Structure 1
Amino acid sequence: MAGKSKSTLSNYARHLAKLAIHFNELPTLVDPDRINDYLHLVKRSHNTPSDSYFKFTVYALRFAYRIEGMKDKRIELPTIKRSKKLPVVLSKEEVRRLLKAPKLLKHRILIGLLYGCGLRCFEVRNLKIEDLDFDRKVLHVKDGKGKKDRYVPLADILIRGIKTYLESEQPIEWLFNSKGEQIIGRAGGDFDGRYSQRGVQWAVNEAKKKAGILKPMNVHTLRHTYATHLLEEGLDILTIKDLLGHECIDTTMIYLHVAQTEKYRAFSPLDRLYLSRK
């Protein structure tokens, strides 16, 4: 619905349900002043992680107002400042260690696709065998964020690995089935034959530990690393925007603050301090 994932919609539903219970009526019928009072209450609350809870409450209300065609009410809600934190990015050496870490070929291919194609967690879970085009060396990413499709290049080394994986595992329909991961799958949410979200997170986290990576990282870190490495290799920002499936170029521009290109590579003054000594 409206380009939102199931997990996002479930999150919105929970927050709207709490609002409805608090006011004993539909949130869309509540007076804006009372809504603002509730939001101030959420901000002051010590029983919840107020920052994220507050954000999702506002996002859920905005979504409900939009669905109900109540655009005029959107201006009553406070503006949420976006975080200015820069993403964590792995070095190439760290990526190499990460790709070698898993024992299962399935997990090596999974991590290879997350990094090599810049996929989101739900996108790698949604991959079907039919989405692979080895002749054209591309991957068809269907129903990405905002229900947008896109094509991304498949590296030769990844194609060879996927072919080996397909021959040995013989998955059906989904590229990553939940065979052998039932316990993780049930814990991770919908059990429909696909590899679960928790299963993907577990595979990446286990590889991180085995690779000895100390940086705080998660599944999305590989997408950040993909974009940053492409920028450092000279690919233009507009092409990277399309490969990531971003709606707005501003979202992609953050990688300009992370990438170290040869032309603008920063350095420490300590690197030059003793060069001038005779």
Structure 2
Amino acid sequence: MKGQGHPKQVTLKHLYIENQKMIGLLFYPDKIIQALVKQLPNVKWSTQYEMAFIPNNDKNLNLIFDTFKGVCWVNCSHFFPNKPINISNEELSVDSFRKRKPKAGWRYCPEDFYQKLEIRKYALNTAKIYIQLFEKFINHFPEKENLMDLNEYKIRNYLQTLVQSGKSDSYVNQSINAIKFYYEVVHEMPNRFYSIERPIKTESLPRVLSQEQVFRIIDNTHNLKHRCIVSLLYSAGLRRGELIDLKLEDVISDRMLLRVNNGKGRKDRYTLLSESILADLRKYYKRYKPLKYLFEGVSGEKYSASSVGKIVVRSARKAKIIQRVTPHMLRHSFATHLLENGIDLRQIQSLLGHNTLRTTEIYTHVAVRGMNKIKNPLDLRKT
């Protein structure tokens, strides 16, 4: 209510009641709004959702706007989809999933799930994860159960089984994303499951290597192609997928830059090209003669992500690094070492392709610049 500091507004929500799409009307108690809501046709009250609702159709939607015009704000931020379609030129096909042979007792994703992934040009890895996790979700329920009839209570119970079985927070979050994709994107009911809680995000710090450790790893990578891969991961701060997507024309030697196309979030960016790695890349090009991608497999196809991981692990083992090293640790190390050398955080954000500075700020917690100058209190004890 106005006296309690609440703005006058009616928030529209997607509801699914008695096999019908409904428009939920959520508002703080207000005599004028309540009187106007009662005038709407076939309006009912949901005890479960604690809001009024009417059938979802264009006529009723227009009537809501006309009814509350000039009286209060109609908040549609939870009602209309606002996520843009990806604009990547690369088409996505999930035919390998679509053409699977039927397996007795296993429910596959419905066709409209596949179609929406393709139309919106989701990244292939994201599409695979959504398909796999959504199928695990629907196979948790009897085959006769209509997917549209599943409510928040049943979804919460399913998520609880994931937690109880020891699934990680990331796995649970991705499962929620896959479930919400079906109901909110495929069936165009944004924010239908608005009260599904996500696991509290763990604020874990990135694992980084010292510069001396990174140099040891590179020095112990004797194969020229493999050394270029390891060196680029570190010197350009690349994600594994960004590295294997690099094409020959992305090496811009006259400006000492690397162009990263369709990075995370479908964003292009430029990052650093090391002079020392450029010399190795020229030797590599003359020896291996790649045709399209900078790093290609035996048959000329894009180099595999798993092979990149194995190269890093093997070189780190040869360098006698005790902890298990991943390609992403080299990216973390790149950012941390730049910060320790006084590079501005916003420049690091741009090189890494982070959406927000807050993501990049995590490296301030692992950088040791200045910290190694602090005298430990134990060392202050007089001998």
Alignment of 1:16-27 (within 5 A): 16-23=134-141, 24=143, 27=147
Q: 2:352 aligns with which of 227, 232, 244?
A: 244
Q: Distance in 2 between matches of 1:153 and 1:223?
A: 12
Does residue 42 (structure 1) correspond to residue 162 (structure 2)? The answer is yes
> Residue 74 of structure 1: CA displacement?
4.2
- Provide, for residues 165-195 of structure 1, a one-character-per-residue CA deviation record: whole Å limited to 9, x for no partner: 111111111111112xx8xxxxxxxxx7011
Q: Distance in 1 between matches of 2:247 and 2:211?
A: 28
**SS, match of residue 72 in structure 1:** coil
Q: Distance in 1 between matches of 2:242 and 2:121?
A: 13
Q: Where does residue 130 of structure 2 map in the other structure?
A: 12
Q: Name the structure with the higher helix share.
A: 1
Q: 2:175 aligns with which of 57, 60, 76?
A: 57
**SS, match of residue 140 in structure 2:** helix
Does residue 148 (structure 1) correspond to residue 148 (structure 2)? The answer is no
Q: Name the structure with the higher strand share.
A: 2
Please give the TM-score of this superposition, normalised by the length of structure 1: 0.86
- Using CA pairs under 8 Å that are at least 6 residues apart, name the structure with larger relative contact order, 1 or 2: 1
| Matched residue type, 2:306 | R
Instruction: List gaps (5 residues or longer) in structure 1.
Output: 183-191
Does residue 219 (structure 1) correspond to residue 307 (structure 2)? The answer is no
Alignment of 1:115-154 (within 5 A): 115-154=234-273
Q: Distance in 2 between matches of 1:26 and 1:213?
A: 53
Q: Summarize the Cα distance change of 1:124–1:3 in structure 2 as closer, same or farther, 3 Å threshold.
A: farther
> Residue 217 of structure 1: CA displacement?
2.3
**SS, match of residue 70 in structure 1:** coil
Q: Distance in 1 between matches of 2:358 and 2:215?
A: 30
Does residue 172 (structure 1) correspond to residue 291 (structure 2)? The answer is yes
- Provide, for residues 1-55 of structure 1, a one-character-per-residue CA deviation record: whole Å limited to 9, x for no partner: 567532232111111112222233565552122111211222223xx63544423
Q: Distance in 1 between matches of 2:296 and 2:232?
A: 15
Q: Where does residue 187 of structure 1 map in the other structure?
A: none
The answer to whether the 8 Å contact 2:172/2:199 transfers is no
What's the C-alpha RMSD, in Å, of the aligned pairs?
A: 2.2
- Provide, for residues 138-181 of structure 1, a one-character-per-residue CA deviation record: whole Å limited to 9, x for no partner: 000000001000001211111111111111111111111112xx
Does residue 157 (structure 1) correspond to residue 276 (structure 2)? The answer is yes
**SS, match of residue 192 in structure 2:** helix
Q: Summarize the Cα distance change of 1:197–1:130 in structure 2 as closer, same or farther, 3 Å threshold.
A: same
Q: Summarize the Cα distance change of 1:245–1:29 in structure 2 as closer, same or farther, 3 Å threshold.
A: farther
Does residue 194 (structure 1) correspond to residue 302 (structure 2)? The answer is yes
Q: Summarize the Cα distance change of 1:52–1:145 in structure 2 as closer, same or farther, 3 Å threshold.
A: closer
Q: Distance in 1 between matches of 2:282 and 2:206?
A: 32
Q: Summarize the Cα distance change of 1:172–1:44 in structure 2 as closer, same or farther, 3 Å threshold.
A: same
Q: Where does residue 110 of structure 1 map in the other structure?
A: 229
Please give the TM-score of this superposition, normalised by the length of structure 2: 0.64
The answer to whether the 8 Å contact 1:231/1:259 transfers is yes
After the TM superposition, which segments of 4 or more aligned residues of structure 1 sit over 6 Å from their partners?
Answer: none
Q: Summarize the Cα distance change of 1:52–1:146 in structure 2 as closer, same or farther, 3 Å threshold.
A: closer
Q: Distance in 2 between matches of 1:239 and 1:58?
A: 33
Q: Distance in 2 between matches of 1:138 and 1:85?
A: 31
> Residue 224 of structure 1: CA displacement?
0.4
Instruction: List gaps (5 residues or longer) in structure 2.
Output: 1-116
Identical positions, percent: 35
